[in-house]
Structure formats: C-alpha cells, structure tokens
Amino acid sequence: MPKQLKKIPKFKTEKQERAFWETHDSSEYVNWSSAETVRLPNLKPTTQTISLRLPTPLLERIKIEANKRDIPYQSLIKVWLKEKV
C-alpha cells in the first residue's frame, strides 16, 4: 500500500516556505519516485561580487593570458578557479 502523503501547506511568502522546508522532510509531501528530470537552460547561477587584491605583476600576466584567449580577464580567473576547486 502506497504511503499517504501529507498536503503541502499554502505559504504567504517565499521566506515562510523556505523556513518550512528547512525543518520538514520533503519525502513526506512529495512522491519522488515519480519525479521527472527538468532542464532549466536559461537559469543563471547567483553570483556575488568580491574584492580581491592581487600583485600588479600577477594581474598583468593574467590580463595577457586573457588577451591571448580573447576573453575578459575576470572570466579567465573564474574559469581557472572553477578548474581548481
């Protein structure tokens, strides 16, 4: 006999919903065995601006490498960080 699922409450705000799911197990509310994979190709990851101090010679070398690849130096730094993390 399938497990009886609880009804998902209605929320007034996203904050209320977030607080609810932080303290409740979703498997009591959703039958995950029937879930389908979804692709969200236009969804952009959240980014955060940071300040990073680099020695001038290092930054100049990064800019030269970025110029060789014809990309912004910040993008090259992000690529390198992603490869290493």
Is the pTM value of this prediction over 0.85? no
pLDDT value for 75: 96
The answer to whether the beta carbons of residues 12 and 34 sit under 8 Å apart is no
What does the domain layout of the chain look like in residue ranges?
1-33, 50-85
For the stretch 18-67, pLDDT in tens is: 999 999 999 999 999 989 999 989 998 888 999 999 999 999 999 999 99
Which residues fall within 8 angstroms of residue 76, CB to CB, at 6 or more apart?
62, 65, 66, 69
